[in-house]
Structure 1
Amino acid sequence: MINFQNKTKSFLDFVTMFVQIVLNTTLAFLAVIITCLLIKELIGFAELVNSDQVNQYHIFLERILVFFIYFEFISMIVKYFKESYHFPMRYFLYIGITAMVRLVIVDHEEAEKTLMYAFVILILIISYFILNFTPRERPEKYTIQKK
């Protein structure tokens, strides 16, 4: 019985390690793709500044916010590798806030939608505020005791 448990544990360890390697490789590949898109946005900025559309601030702001979304995703992937394969929740909130601000700037014709987007931004900011004031470690009374 003990031999079976050891084999099962070693098999599960192998599967976990394999899936972690696949995940890390995929995220590294995604980081390369997003970096290329980030560079493409920088080139787009240069073209936009030199074009006749420089006075259309909606286009410029939209491009800046897309740039920051790419930047935040890359930062999140870097943090994932630096923090022992863990995505910090605050980065998801940053990306959500930036994406919603982009929607407000791009799609602001209907007042109801804009109000809804603003409400979502408020919820995300409140979530970020709560996250910052919550202790990072769980109190001992809430942790599961191993026997």
Structure 2
Amino acid sequence: MKEDQRFGIMKKYVNVVLDIVLGMLAILILIFMIRQLIDIGTFINKPMTPKNLSVVMQEVVAFFMLFEFIMMVIRYIQEGHHIPIRYLILICITAILRQLMVIHGDAVQTLLLSISILALVIVLFVLNLSGNKSYSGFKSNKIDEKD
């Protein structure tokens, strides 16, 4: 039983260190987000040429990627150091949608990205049909009465 207690204590320390490191990562990402906002603001003040519009779109996409990373870190900590599969699939869908917004003119790539979104939506649908809610990140807190 002492080994189980040692493992539990070690797990607590590892989780605390992990939370501290993830917190520092979140602060670093926030700093980069502020920098992205400043860059977007400087490009908005310039005359809107197609090149400037493209740069602004890239900066906005980069900003939302940073925002998504922060949300993933927060979700990871909230879920008890676990990221639900459903959440990861939704992140993939939004990343592909952002890529579709940036790409122009390549029909084959647009078709492939659209097919990948369809495939991910089908996976979400199958997960919902399966009735197994373990993919959503919710853990059962019931204790077996037999133990």
Q: Note if contact 1:41-1:63 (Cα within 8 Å) is conserved in structure 2.
A: yes
Q: TM-score, normalised by structure 2?
A: 0.70
Residues 66 and 95 of structure 1: is their aligned pair in 2 closer, same or farther, counting only changes over 3 Å? farther
The answer for the alignment partner of 2:133 in structure 1 is: 136
Count of aligned positions: 136
Task: Give the Å deviation of 1:31.
Answer: 0.8
Task: Give the Å deviation of 1:49.
Answer: 0.6
Q: Note if contact 1:38-1:67 (Cα within 8 Å) is conserved in structure 2.
A: yes
AA of the residue aligned to 2:29: I
d(CA) in 1 for partners of 2:67 and 2:132?
Answer: 27
Residues 125 and 53 of structure 1: is their aligned pair in 2 closer, same or farther, counting only changes over 3 Å? farther
d(CA) in 2 for partners of 1:54 and 1:129?
Answer: 42
The answer for the alignment partner of 1:79 in structure 2 is: 75
Residue 111 (str. 1) matches residue 104 (str. 2) = no
Match of 1:32 among 24, 27, 32: 27
Residues 42 and 65 of structure 1: is their aligned pair in 2 closer, same or farther, counting only changes over 3 Å? same
Segments of 5+ residues of structure 1 without an aligned counterpart are 1-5, 139-144
Partner-residue secondary structure (3-state), 2:133:
coil
Segments of 5+ residues of structure 2 without an aligned counterpart are 136-143
Match of 1:94 among 83, 86, 90: 90
Larger CA deviation: 10-19 vs 30-39: 10-19
Q: TM-score, normalised by structure 1?
A: 0.70
Task: Give the Å deviation of 1:86.
Answer: 3.2
The answer for the alignment partner of 1:3 in structure 2 is: none
d(CA) in 2 for partners of 1:136 and 1:80?
Answer: 18
Larger CA deviation: 127-136 vs 116-125: 127-136
Task: Give the Å deviation of 1:132.
Answer: 5.2
Higher relative contact order (CA 8 A, sep 6+): 2
